[in-house]
Amino acid sequence: MARKMLIDGELGKTNEDESHYDFDLFVIGAGSGGVRASRFSAQNGAKVGICELPFHPISTEVIGGVGGTCVIRGCVPKKILVYGASYGPELEDARNYGWELNEKIDFNWKKLLEKKTEEIVRLNGIYKRLLANAGVKLFEGEGRVVGPNEVELIQLDGTKINYSAKHILIATGSRARRPAIPGQELAITSDEALSLEELPKRAIVLGGGYIAVEFASIWRGMGATVDLFFRKELPLRGFDDEMRAAVARNLEGRGINLHPRTSLTELVKTEDGIKVRTDHGEEIMADVVLFATGRAPNTKRLNLQSVGVELDDAGAVKVDGHSQTNIPSIWAIGDVTNRMNLTPVALMEGTCFAKTVFGGQPTKPDYGHIPCAVFCIPPLSVVGLSEEQAVEQANSDVLVFTSTFNPMKNTISGRQEKTIMKLIVDSETDKVLGASMCGPDAPEIMQGIAIALKCGATKAQFDSTVGIHPSAAEEFVTMRSVTRRITAGKPKM
């Protein structure tokens, strides 16, 4: 099949010399982004090969699995555990709804773990079938770049075989990072946290990002005592400050012990568990210590710099707007580029890559109005600008609309936990710049709000939309009164 493709960085007609390559495209890494790019490139007529490390729930430098972090040891198993952890508080709330739960209800961690593993094995198989159905050749083993158009595959038996490709795509994702603390080998990362043999009774979490607050919520929901340590005054740096405060209140309200502006200095193994020392002189005992202190691009073993591919100081692959490196035949997408590290973003980048290189439609990923969610309990979800970002970028006054209320469900259950919603509006254009929500079902609601913002919706259009009653979501179309107006260039006090 004749194809249009990028020739030396420019869109051109079919290259008569393509036939001397083993593949039009060889992808290293079969996570979400790599699989998407492979399938869509093959659908455009490209001959595609992809390699991935052998499957296991816990990754190492030589173990991975088709489906990548999100499917095997990230978003999917994490969300399963969030669902599992939510049932405990739900059962408590059920009493005021007439459910007589007289007998003690036990939680079987091993059963949930077994079901979680069954699901990721199933998804691993689905991803393999998706590749096969698209005509993509899957290789199991470790790939590394040995030339601008050559990949070396280290097979499971240790033998090496080389393949040539017109284009090489790096999609190896990222790996959990461990801080250099004495005794750090006693701690675990999110990989191990998703596959613990025993549910901890006492858990310590170090970090203030997505993973930290999510696992704190999971373990607390399952009955563990949880202490969360983070460097800032509030968790979730980079999110709207008002929403960060709401998450912190909810975490504390659910019984999680917060330790702001506190770091760990040493971990010591004892007969009673792990003794943790802090920079405030505290000593706390734990069964499990989770390091949720960020992730690093997975480039260490790819041999990229030896072939001239530029990396940044964090080890991420440097790319242009089309995901192309400084070597025209080598491309990179997903977390390995450290742009916006979300699974749907990697999917978008993979789609754009396939369109650009094999579809004859040069397409840059659009990073505007990308929604995201933190699956703490209850969850936080946002799209667009935070209040702080809007004020910083504003050329006109910023209008802030907020609504804080007790969800209808809580009025009966008696749970003291408020939902908060927020809209950020440009006073001159009336355009909604950002939306955020912390409360039950926030991610489900925010996905719809994201479409509105992507289309450039104004506050007047929100106001003219009829709500669904009774629902929490209707608050987004009934916020009429301005909570505060911030003059351009003057941040709120």
pLDDT, position 108: 96
Given a cut of 70, is residue 13 above it in pLDDT? Answer: no
pLDDT, position 201: 97
Query: What digits encode the pLDDT tens for the residues 381-394?
Result: 999 999 999 999 98
Helix, strand, coil percentages for the chain (3-state, nearest 5): 30, 25, 40
pLDDT, position 308: 98
Angle between helices 32-43 and 343-358 (to 10 degrees): 30
Pairwise CA distance, residues 178 & 171, whole Å: 22
pLDDT, position 8: 42
Query: How many other C-beta atoms lie within 10 A of the C-beta of residue 38?
Result: 31
Q: Which secondary structure element, helix H or strand E, spans residue 168, and what is its range?
A: strand 160-170
Query: Is 329 within any annotated ligand binding site?
Result: no
Query: Is 364 within any annotated ligand binding site?
Result: no
Pairwise CA distance, residues 53 & 248, whole Å: 38
439, 407 Cβ separation under 8 angstroms: yes
Query: Is 117 within any annotated ligand binding site?
Result: no
pLDDT-derived band at 59 (thresholds 50, 70, 90) equals confident
Radius of gyration of the chain measured on its C-alpha atoms: 24
pLDDT-derived band at 420 (thresholds 50, 70, 90) equals very high
Query: Is 172 within any annotated ligand binding site?
Result: yes
- Residue ranges of alpha helices (H) inside 24-74 are 32-43, 68-73
pTM for the predicted model, two decimal places: 0.93
Pairwise CA distance, residues 409 & 101, whole Å: 18
Given a cut of 50, is residue 482 above it in pLDDT? Answer: yes
Token readout for 443 is 């991610």
Pairwise CA distance, residues 47 & 357, whole Å: 13
pLDDT, position 97: 96
Pairwise CA distance, residues 131 & 137, whole Å: 7
Check residues 446 and 10 and name the one with the higher pLDDT.
Answer: 446
pLDDT, position 11: 44
Pairwise CA distance, residues 278 & 358, whole Å: 53
pLDDT-derived band at 101 (thresholds 50, 70, 90) equals confident
Query: Is 79 within any annotated ligand binding site?
Result: yes
- DSSP, residue by residue, 246-302: HHHHHHHHTTPEEETT--EEEEEEETTEEEEEETTS-EEEESEEEE---EEES-TTS
pLDDT-derived band at 1 (thresholds 50, 70, 90) equals very low
Token readout for 216 is 């704190």
Query: Is 464 within any annotated ligand binding site?
Result: no
Pairwise CA distance, residues 402 & 172, whole Å: 40
Query: Is 212 within any annotated ligand binding site?
Result: yes
Q: How far apart are the first and last CA of the chain?
A: 63
Q: How many Å separate Cα 60 from the centre of its chain?
A: 19
162, 151 Cβ separation under 8 angstroms: yes
Distances (CA, A) of 248 to 117, 207, 251: 31, 13, 5
Choosing from 56, 280, 322, 469, which is the catalytic residue?
Answer: 469
pLDDT-derived band at 17 (thresholds 50, 70, 90) equals low
Query: Does the active-site annotation cover 469?
Result: yes
pLDDT-derived band at 57 (thresholds 50, 70, 90) equals confident
pLDDT-derived band at 167 (thresholds 50, 70, 90) equals very high
Residue 135's nearest CA partner among 49, 57, 13, 208 is 49
Query: What digits encode the pLDDT tens for the residues 126-162?
Result: 999 999 999 999 999 999 999 999 999 999 999 999 9
The mean of the pLDDT values for the chain is 94
Query: Is 29 within any annotated ligand binding site?
Result: no
Query: Is 356 within any annotated ligand binding site?
Result: no
Pairwise CA distance, residues 204 & 196, whole Å: 14
Query: Is 213 within any annotated ligand binding site?
Result: yes
Burial tier of 282 (Cβ tally within 10 Å: 0-12, 13-18, 19+) = middle
Given a cut of 90, is residue 464 above it in pLDDT? Answer: yes
Pairwise CA distance, residues 417 & 420, whole Å: 10
Residue 7's nearest CA partner among 140, 166, 143, 155 is 166
Given a cut of 90, is residue 281 above it in pLDDT? Answer: yes
Query: Is 158 within any annotated ligand binding site?
Result: no
pLDDT, position 58: 86
pLDDT-derived band at 40 (thresholds 50, 70, 90) equals very high
52, 154 Cβ separation under 8 angstroms: no
Q: Which secondary structure element, helix H or strand E, spans residue 83, and what is its range?
A: helix 75-94
Query: Is 278 within any annotated ligand binding site?
Result: no
Query: Is 143 within any annotated ligand binding site?
Result: yes
Span 68-84, mean pLDDT?
Answer: 96
Pairwise CA distance, residues 453 & 450, whole Å: 5
